[in-house]
Structure 1
Amino acid sequence: MAPPPGPYSGKSTLALVARASAFSVGLVYGSIKLKYLKAQAKSQRKAEAKAHH
């Protein structure tokens, strides 16, 4: 009998869950970072104007 797949072999449920949660954490982090950067740009109108021109 073959040993059960390891946590990072890509065959176990744990690996799929870990990959899915890492992906969603990345999405959440990215959107929070975008919101923060947009808010920062709004508070710094001069910097925003320089960036666009």
Structure 2
Amino acid sequence: MAPPPGPYSGVSQLALVARFSAFAVGLFYGNMKLKYLKMKAKSLKKADDNAHH
């Protein structure tokens, strides 16, 4: 009889949950960073436009 998969074998429930959690956190972080950079770019453009008038 084969031993149960270990926590780092890649097939255990814990490994699947950890992998999914890391993926979700990465998506969330990337999304927040993108929104921040877009807002920052927009405010810089607005400040630049105001400086030229």
TM-score category, normalised to shorter length: 0.7 to 0.9
Number of matched pairs: 46
Displacement over 4 Å in runs of 4+: none
- What is the CA RMSD across the aligned residues, in angstroms? 1.0
Name stretches of at least 5 consecutive residues in structure 2 with no aligned partner: 49-53
Which structure's CA Rg is the greater one? 2
Q: What TM-score, normalized by structure 2, do the two folds share?
A: 0.77
Q: Percent sequence identity over matched residues? A: 74
What is aligned with 1:10? 10
Q: What TM-score, normalized by structure 1, do the two folds share?
A: 0.77
